């Protein structure tokens, strides 16, 4: 019988554990506070399986992984999505640094936790750097509610999974501007293109942007009323919460883009609005100017 431990007892951790159980996998769930089906003993959960899925908030991943160094783990799958603020590292990069002996993978896709918890079908991407690790990750999910999309593009999947949060804020800002659905659809295309450029600049594969972790997650995070990032943009400057991953990832994505000399006009435009350098009413015109400049650059070629 397959066994795996899930670290992180928030909504996403609970949803993953439920989906795994539905696929016939034995699961142990760890959280800092004990609860029904949740153990607060990290040792107990890690002794249950040498394979783990990490579903804690992105900024807690490093501290959690450092507590695992004494355990002989075989597989670590990152369900946490984000860039570490201080280092601008992706989750698998932190994992490789702290657990160099452990095979790394990651999950992505359009996955609202509440729907996954109910067992409703959805697409999920899973990535690793080698086919052996990828097949092992697949084995845990193959009988569950997911439409599976395996890829060897570990970097691309993670880059796209982070980038869509910022794009969702931008979508929410444009929704608030009230200039119609044509502009919103146009923005989604531009957001996909910039997401793909970011991913490919870091070594990702172009086709990953058209899959579940790219286009699928982008559409969901931008358009769903349950998306905290999109809702942040819709109600800015008075959102219900400032604790959204897109806001927290802005500086880290810009820092990472600088390492590969990549310009990100949409990201910069969103940052300018959030930091008060551009008004929301000015941004649609700036979007048009940006697109015209990009088209001229392509034609001049």
Q: Show the DSSP H helices in 23-153 as ranges.
A: 42-48, 61-66, 91-98, 113-117, 131-141
Of 16-25, 85-94, 190-199, the range with the lowest mean pLDDT is 16-25
- Region 19-40: mean pLDDT is 89
Angle at 75 between CA 206 and CA 110, to 5 degrees: 45
pLDDT at residue 256 in the model: 96
What are the pLDDT digits (tens) for 146-161? 899 999 999 999 999 9
pTM above 0.85, yes or no: yes
Task: Determine the straight-line distance between the first and last CA of the chain, rounded to whole angstroms.
Answer: 57
Best-predicted range by mean pLDDT (25-34, 113-122, 154-163, 173-182): 154-163
CA 171 to CA 281: how far, in whole Å? 14
pLDDT at residue 301 in the model: 61
The answer for residues whose C-beta is within 8 angstroms of residue 114's C-beta and 6 or more apart is: 11, 15, 226
Q: Is the pLDDT of residue 299 over 90?
A: no
What are the pLDDT digits (tens) for 236-255? 998 877 778 889 899 999 99
CA 155 to CA 26: how far, in whole Å? 29
CA 8 to CA 31: how far, in whole Å? 5
Sign for the CA dihedral angle at 96, 101, 102, 103 comes to: positive
Angle between helices 181-201 and 283-300 (to 10 degrees): 50
Sheet of 3-7: strands edge to edge? 38-39, 26-30, 3-7, 51-54, 75-78, 103-108, 122-128, 146-151
146: helix, strand or coil: strand
**Best CA proximity match to 161, nearest among 118, 187, 127:** 127
What are the pLDDT digits (tens) for 55-72? 999 999 999 999 998 899
């Amino acid at each position: 019988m397959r066994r795996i431990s899930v670290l992180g007892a928030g909504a996403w951790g609970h949803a993953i554990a439920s989906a795994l159980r539905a696929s016939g996998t034995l699961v142990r769930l760890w959280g800092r506070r004990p609860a029904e089906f949740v153990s607060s003993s990290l040792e107990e959960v890690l002794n249950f399986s040498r394979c783990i899925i990490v579903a804690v908030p992105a900024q807690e991943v490093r501290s959690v992984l450092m507590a695992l160094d004494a355990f002989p783990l075989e597989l670590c799958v990152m369900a946490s999505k984000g860039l570490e603020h201080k280092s601008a590292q992706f989750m698998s990069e932190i994992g490789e640094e702290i657990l160099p002996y452990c095979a790394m993978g990651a999950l992505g896709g359009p996955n609202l936790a509440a729907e996954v918890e109910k067992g409703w079908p959805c697409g999920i991407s899973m990535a690793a750097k080698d086919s052996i690790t990828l097949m092992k990750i697949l084995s845990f999910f193959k009988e569950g509610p997911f439409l599976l999309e395996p890829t060897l593009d570990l970097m691309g999947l993670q880059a796209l999974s982070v980038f869509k949060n910022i794009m969702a804020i931008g979508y929410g800002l444009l929704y608030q501007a009230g200039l119609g659905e044509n502009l919103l659809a146009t923005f989604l295309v531009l957001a996909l293109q910039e997401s793909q450029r970011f991913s490919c600049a870091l070594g990702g594969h172009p086709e990953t942007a058209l899959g579940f972790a790219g286009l699928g997650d982008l559409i969901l995070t931008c358009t769903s009323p349950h998306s905290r990032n999109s809702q942040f943009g819709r109600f800015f400057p008075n959102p219900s919460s400032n604790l959204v991953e897109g806001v927290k990832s802005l500086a880290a994505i810009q820092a990472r883009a600088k390492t590969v000399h990549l310009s990100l006009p949409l990201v910069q435009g969103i940052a300018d609005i959030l930091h008060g350098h551009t008004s929301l009413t000015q941004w649609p015109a700036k979007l048009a100017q940006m697109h015209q400049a990009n088209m001229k650059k392509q034609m001049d070629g």
